[in-house]
Amino acid sequence: MSAPLIQMAVDATTENNPVLNISIFLAFVAVTMIVVIRAGRNNKSAADYYTGGRSFTGTQNGFAIAGDYLSAASFLGIVGAIAVNGYDGFLYSIGFLVAWLVALLLVAELMRNTGKFTMADVLSFRLKQGPVRVAAATTTLAVCFFYLLAQMAGAGGLVSLLLGINDKLGQSIVVSVVGILMIVYVLVGGMKGTTWVQIIKAFLLIIGAFGMTIWVLVLNGFNLSTVLASAVENSTHEPAAAILAPGLAYGANPLDFISLAIALVLGTAGLPHVLMRFYTVPTAKEARKSVVWAIWLIGGFYVFTLVLGFGAAALVGGETILAAPGGVNSAAPLLSLALGGPILLGFISAIAFATILAVVAGITITAATSFAHDIYASVIKKGKATPDAEVKVARRTVIVIGILAIAGGIGVQGQNIAFLVALAFAVAASANLPTILYSLFWKNFSTRGAVWSMYGGLASAVLLIIFSPVFSSEPTSMFGEGVDFAIFPLKNPGIISIPLGFFLGWLGTVTSSRREDPHLAAEMAVRSLTGHGAEKAVEH
């Protein structure tokens, strides 16, 4: 890559065309806002607000799942990781994809058949309502909080990259705008509006990634090997071909990578905002179809990111990417600039913003639903709250969460918070998945097992992170290398906390003296497989 072109690329990102970028983004906001307002008109009951009236088809829901799941981290982050670290970035995306098989084979349909609005509905079905619901709502809110904070912080970082806004005030304003837009979407549109935003965004994101992939391949005669060859040529690693093999990112600590891989593959099926998407379809069969669509879309997308990542390494170069504002995250935008100039860059930037907006909206409605349905209606009001009052609480919770997200997003600016997404997956895999699987497949599972597993999984994942190099002992740690209380050597807690979550579920159950209601256990088993009670009556 010639020096003038590099200079042009850097200039373009620092002073790229913010007016164009903002206009395209505003167009997205305008279109989605109209859709959200139209969708919000029909929100009458609690089921409308929380699940979009269960009226989405499997195909629509599959797009929405992809829209919920493919965050800015997976678009900008993975393309950047492949561009800079080569093969190891690709390893990351495979875990995200294979994880969907856990959801498809073990969780989606059975959850759809036994739950109403939240994960806690399923987990407390045959156990003691109070403690299990509170525990499930706690882990749900924890995962949502970590994920939301990561997304909001990402929004701040993206701004400097895409709009050329580098000062703290400007970034804070943009984080606030994202938060306020999110609140409006979720308040006005409920689950139906949120789902449509995700569908539109998934469509744009996948079309954008597909178009760029084809473009890169056209430039290289549809030969992946040619792309790899120019990526190697441009590589500054020693030896240059190292980017084609594993090791550049995780080679120094393979155990840490394995710990991450366990959390990625087991975490997805325990993410509350993913689980909630199974309730927006009318039947288990549509839930199955949603996951199948999601797998195709997400799998296709990750294959595109492989081409885009190496394409960015070939056409832009790892050094230029790292030097650009936004660092690793600038790989995809710089590639779009190199391919299609400012207009494509504007389009891709707008998609990246839309991505953040759609993902935070999905997480927020999940957290608000869990608080209103599990904590307010079931525990505080002991099931005596009217659906109207419940939805009112959910709406107020949305505003509170939105404000917290804005404050958090502004507060963590400049912090290295990349660990938050990995932590969200680790908590989902350690605290949620064991109880979900035990509830669905183990007849004798008990209240004590559920409560121990959920709190134990959550606490161990969080504590291990705090006592890891993420927080202290290394130059990149949150507290710098001057402070050292890192007694746990890995940055990913999954390898300990996930087995611990499963173990505590078993231990709590075998030591429990409380006998759970066998009728409810039988009812849950029958309903989970037949869909009785969860589906519209069979036509006669």
Partner 1 sequence: MNDATPVSSSKSKIDYLEIEESAQFLELQSRHRRFVFPLTAFFLVWYFGFVLMAAYAPSVMAIPVFGLINLGLVLGLAQVATTFIITMWYVSFANRRLDPLSLAMRTKLEAMERAGTTASEQSEIDRRAGLAKS
Which residues within the stretch 435-494 sit at the binding site for partner 1 (CB under 8 A)? 441
Question: How far lies 323's CA from each of 14, 78, 317, 320, 327, in Å?
Answer: 11, 17, 10, 5, 6
User: Judged by CB under 8 A, which stretch of 53-61, 141-149, 152-160, 203-211 contacts partner 1?
Assistant: 53-61
- Comparing CB distances to partner 1, the nearer of 474 and 523 is 523
Cβ(59)–Cβ(289) below 8 Å: yes
Cite the DSSP H helix spans in 163-271.
168-219, 224-234, 254-267
Helix, strand or coil, per DSSP, at residue 148? helix
Span of 21-29, 208-216, 297-305, 322-330 interacting with partner 1 by CB under 8 A: 297-305
- Contacting partner 1 (CB under 8 A), which of 1, 10, 17, 116? 116
Candidates 14-22, 291-299, 403-411, 481-489 — which segment interacts with partner 1 by CB under 8 A?
Answer: 291-299
Instruction: Give 84 or 458: the residue with its C-beta nearer to partner 1.
Output: 84
Helix (H) or strand (E) holding 128: none
Is residue 527 exposed (0-12), middle (13-18) or buried (19+ Cβ within 10 Å)? middle
Indicate which single residue of 34, 105, 207, 487 sits in contact with partner 1 (rule: CB under 8 A): 105
Round the CA-based radius of gyration of the chain to a whole number and report it: 23
- Helices and strands of the chain, counted as H and E runs: 23, 0
Restricted to residues 32-51, the positions that interact with partner 1 (CB under 8 A) are 45, 47
CB closer to partner 1 out of 33 and 224: 224
Q: Does 217 bind partner 1 (CB under 8 A)?
A: no
Q: One-letter amino acid identity for 224?
A: L
User: Which of 415, 308, 339 minimizes the C-alpha distance to 78?
Assistant: 308
Which residue is it, tokens 């981290």?
73
Of 373 and 402, the one with the shorter C-beta distance to partner 1 is 373
Instruction: State how far the Cα of 38 lies from the Cα of 192, in Å rounded to an integer.
Output: 10
Span interacting with partner 1, options 108-116, 212-220, 346-354, 428-436, rule CB under 8 A: 108-116
Is residue 400 a contact residue for partner 1 (CB under 8 A)?
no
125/419 with CB nearer partner 1? 125
Dmax (CA) of the chain: 74
Q: In sequence order, which residues have a C-beta less than 8 Å from that of residue 254 and are 6 or more positions away? A: none
Cα–Cα distance measured from residue 141 to residue 503, given in angstroms and rounded to the nearest whole number: 23
Selected from 22, 292, 403, 407, the binder of partner 1 by CB under 8 A is 292
Q: Nearer Cβ to partner 1, position 101 or 188?
A: 101
Instruction: Rule CB under 8 A: say whether 261 interacts with partner 1.
Output: yes
- 65-to-297, 316, 421 alpha-carbon distances in Å: 9, 32, 17
Select from 251, 341, 480, 489 the one that contacts partner 1 (CB under 8 A). 251
Residue 168 tokens, joined: 């703290």
One of 141, 159, 186, 228 touching partner 1 (CB under 8 A): 228
In whole angstroms, what is the distance from residue 21 CA to residue 29 CA?
12
Which CB, 120 or 462, lies closer to partner 1?
120
Q: Which stretch binds partner 1 (CB under 8 A): 135-143, 145-153, 182-190, 228-236?
A: 228-236
Q: What is the C-alpha separation between 436 and 201, in angstroms, rounded?
A: 30
d(CA 403, CA 397): 10
Name the residue nearer to partner 1 (CB basis): 168 or 443. Answer: 443
Site for partner 1 in 271-290 (CB under 8 A): 282, 285, 288
Select the residue interacting with partner 1 from 254, 341, 480, 489 (CB under 8 A): 254
Tell me the CB-side half-sphere exposure of residue 141, using CA atoms within 13 A. Answer: 20
Using the rule CB under 8 A, is 302 a contact of partner 1? yes
If one counts every other C-beta atom within 10 angstroms of the C-beta of residue 355, the result is 27
Candidates 14-22, 174-182, 238-246, 494-502; binding stretch for partner 1 (CB under 8 A): 238-246
**Contact set for partner 1, span 505-534 (CB under 8 A):** 517-520, 522-527, 529-534
Per CB under 8 A, the list member of 319, 474, 484, 535 interacting with partner 1 is: 535
Terminal alpha carbon distance of the chain: 69
From 28, 100, 146, 215, residue interacting with partner 1 (rule: CB under 8 A): 100
Q: How far is the CB of 299 from partner 1 (least distance, A)?
A: 5
- Tokens found for residue 332: 């995809």
For residue 539, what is the enclosing H or E element?
Answer: none
Q: Is 245 in the site for partner 1 (CB under 8 A)?
A: yes
Structure tokens at 460: 């161990």
Q: For partner 1, which is the closer residue by CB, 155 or 375? A: 375
Minimum CB distance to partner 1, residue 184 (Å):
25
Helix (H) or strand (E) holding 537: none
Q: Which of 296, 444, 463, 511 binds partner 1 (CB under 8 A)?
A: 296
Classified as helix, coil or strand, 142 is: helix
The residue (of 3 and 252) whose beta carbon lies closer to partner 1 is 252
Helix (H, G, I), strand (E, B) or coil at 347: helix
65, 277 contact by CB (below 8 A): yes
Q: Name which of 52 and 157 has its Cβ closer to partner 1.
A: 52
User: Total residues at the site for partner 1 (CB under 8 A)?
Assistant: 79
Residues 122-141 that bind partner 1 (CB under 8 A): 125-126
Choose the binding region for partner 1 from 94-102, 171-179, 193-201, 413-421 (rule: CB under 8 A). 94-102
